[in-house]
């Protein structure tokens, strides 16, 4: 059983549930958010160990959320994996520059996501 919990920030209900189920089957405690505001509220309450963060979200995008989390002293140690369909080198570069710990492009295989989570969980 994994320690800590994971916040999945994904605006697509189908993808959010798919990722959530995949992680829960491996024993992870999973929280979910559909947009940036919901994600930031959840982070403030729950302090997840890891955030799987989509980039394209309604309102505040994933790059902005990542930068905000990594710039705040109380949350900068939370691990962030950007999970996104933005697959250009410039997107990856920009995501890592915002403080992401890893960048995973969609579509991904379940074993890729689980390996990424395993690498990033404290």
* Domains of the chain by residue range: 5-120
42 half-sphere exposure, CB direction, 13 A CA radius: 22
Task: Tell me which residue has tokens 């995501």.
Answer: 95
What pLDDT, on a 0 to 100 scale, did the predictor assign at position 122? 72
> Is residue 1's pLDDT more than 70?
no
Integer Rg of the chain from CA: 13
What pLDDT, on a 0 to 100 scale, did the predictor assign at position 17? 97
CB 9 within 8 A of CB 36: yes
The domain defined by 5-120 carries CATH number 3.40.640.10: no
What pLDDT, on a 0 to 100 scale, did the predictor assign at position 2? 41
Q: Which two tokens stand for residue 85?
A: 């369909």
Q: What is the per-residue pLDDT across 24-75, written as a single tens digit (0 to 9) for each? A: 999 999 999 999 999 999 999 999 999 999 999 998 999 999 999 999 999 9
C-alpha–C-alpha distance, residues 119 and 100, integer Å: 13
Q: How confident is the model at residue 3 (pLDDT cuts 50, 70, 90)?
A: low
Q: What is the per-residue pLDDT across 99-121, written as a single tens digit (0 to 9) for each? A: 999 999 999 999 999 999 999 99
């Amino acid at each position: 059983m994994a320690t800590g919990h994971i916040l999945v920030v994904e605006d697509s209900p189908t993808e959010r549930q798919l990722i959530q189920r995949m992680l829960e089957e491996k024993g992870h405690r999973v929280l979910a958010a559909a947009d940036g505001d919901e994600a930031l509220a959840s982070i403030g309450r729950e302090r997840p160990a890891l955030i799987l963060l989509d980039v394209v979200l309604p309102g505040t995008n994933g790059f902005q959320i990542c930068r905000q989390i990594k710039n705040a002293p109380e949350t900068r140690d939370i691990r962030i994996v950007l999970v996104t369909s933005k697959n250009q080198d410039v997107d990856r570069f920009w995501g890592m520059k915002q403080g992401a710990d890893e960048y995973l492009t969609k579509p991904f295989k379940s074993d890729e996501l689980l390996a990424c989570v395993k690498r990033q969980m404290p």
